[in-house]
Amino acid sequence: MITGPQCRAARALVEITRGKLTIRSGVDEAVIRDFEHKLDEPDDRTIAALQAALEELGAVFIDENGGGIGVRRKFTESEAKRIARLEGEGGIVANDRVP
C-alpha cells in the first residue's frame, strides 16, 4: 500500500493534477488532498484505486528495501534501450564538476 507522500510524489512525476487523478481513480479530490497531507488515511480500496491510476500513468512505487520507500517513473522500452546504449558508450572517465 502506498503512503500519502508517495501519492503526492507520483502525481508530480507523472504530471497530473489532483482533479485529473480524481477523474481517473474515482476518488474525491478532498480525500486525495487529505491523504497526501497525512490528515486522513482512506480505506485500502481507495488507496488501491489511487495506486492503480498512478501506475497506469507511469509511476512505479518502491517498497521499503533498506533505503526507504519511494516512487520513480517507469521508462518505456524505447527509453530503456536508449539509456542502455548511452550507458554502454564508454569513454574517458572524468570529473563531472563544472568550473
**Residue 86: what pLDDT?**
73
Provide the grid cell at 84. Answer: 542502455
Listed in sequence order, the residues at least 6 apart from 68 whose beta carbon sits closer than 8 Å to its beta carbon are none
Domain 4-87 indexed as CATH 1.10.260.40: yes
Specify the pTM.
0.75
Across the chain, which has 99 residues, the per-10-residue mean pLDDT values are 94 94 97 97 97 93 82 79 70 55
> Cβ(54)–Cβ(10) under 8 Å?
yes
Nine-digit cell string for 57: 500513468
The reported pLDDT for the residue numbered 91 is 61
Helices (H) and strands (E) in the chain, counts: 5, 2
**Distance of alpha carbon 96 from alpha carbon 69, whole angstroms:** 28
Return the pLDDT at 28.
97
